[in-house]
Structure 1
């Protein structure tokens, strides 16, 4: 069914469901040094959009608010190594380039979590994904089920690739999916806009902002 075949929820016409801390997880995708640190291998490529979206400040507010409300936080990192694609006959050019340049290379600084957003005790760290979809060849489903998660809220990098892919797969697995429009960034304005305006409304139950999400959190009694 095409995205245009069904009328989408219009702002102000529906009340957002509460996000109970017992069954909701905030998924932070690829908050790694190679993306976010000024010395990262992708810093020059994505830096202008990080600045334009003010992503680091927005993520700081999101993560702080989520922690203050007792929300479960899942870290969803990339990770490559020399044998990442040994079983893949047709490696996509983007991943060929990533391998040649050792992006998010396991054991190296670039694959470490950006210090400002480093995981804390009690957070859940998903095993590293090699391409866009963090549900494939990882323990994502297992850990979501173990923590009784029914709703996932997506933030991080990048808008049109790994964040969108996680949301699409979560939807197929039966989870309630929320995309946060001011908690993501992309390499280009065009890709970012496509994610926010086309993909997220198609695959998300909710497409909202950080402040509206935080206001809708229902802490455990």
Structure 2
């Protein structure tokens, strides 16, 4: 059980990359994460967390990856391996179904949708830190995709910026079990203040009322 405290007026829920390509059957990346997503109950856990944080008026912040457009990454000096893959596979293409929000996790009125990140970190070259600071946020709960890339990079950056960071091990997924293990058992404990399961986090949040 998590012992972390979550001041409700200073906590934000960061949902990273809730695109159809990641979370919906027929998405370009979904087949790669589906085995682990099914094992951990990813979609149901994200739904449960969405209900819980909204019931407590915790701000929901959508942290989206750059939606691919024609010409992206071409002629760059050194695009990352992931950016090269996006360039060839057209993940999260703007204007296409795969680049639209999964219907269960689309932004609602009052949600914050920050600038799209080009790499893995939701903070690098975006307005995420600025938007959080304008709301007095000190604690961030980070969920979504992928555990060992965008979630880890965003969480590491948050820790460097001084935020209290919570990872939710069954509200994310990755391509391989080894990647999940690295994210939550090897790397996560070096920067995250809490690494919890969905039910543990919901109970911890309920105690703050």
Tell me the residue number matched to 1:125: 113
**Counterpart check, 1:190 vs 2:165:** no
- CA-based RMSD of the aligned residues comes to 1.6
Q: Does residue 76 of structure 1 match 2:63?
A: yes
Alignment of 1:1-221 (within 5 A): 16-79=3-66, 80-85=68-73, 88-217=76-205, 218-219=208-209
- C-alpha spacing 1:86/1:175, structure 2 compared with 1 (3 Å): farther
Give the Cα separation in 2 of the matches to 1:77 and 1:140.
Answer: 11
Separation (CA, whole Å) in 2 of partners of 1:158 and 1:77: 12
Larger radius of gyration: 1
How many residues align? The count is 206
**Superimposed CA distance per residue, residues 86-144 of structure 1 (whole angstroms, 9 cap, x where no aligned partner):** 68411123211211121112222211110011111111111111221111111111111
What CA distance in whole angstroms lies between the structure 1 residues aligned with 2:166 and 2:192? 5
User: Is the contact between residue 145 and residue 174 of structure 2 (CA under 8 Å) also seen in structure 1?
Assistant: yes
Q: For residue 216 of structure 1, give the secondary structure of its aligned residue in structure 2.
A: helix
Using a 3 Å threshold, how does the CA distance of structure 1 residues 54 and 144 change in structure 2: closer, same or farther? same
The 3 A distance-change label for structure 1 pair 149 and 107 is same
Q: TM-score, normalised by structure 2?
A: 0.92
Larger deviation, residues 18-27 vs 102-111: 102-111
Contact 2:73 2:84 (8 Å CA) reproduced: no
Q: Secondary structure at the match of 1:134?
A: coil
1:84·1:130 contact (CA, 8 Å) conserved in 2? no
The separation in 2 between residues aligned to 1:206 and 1:67, in whole angstroms, is: 21
Q: Return the TM-score normalized by structure 1.
A: 0.87
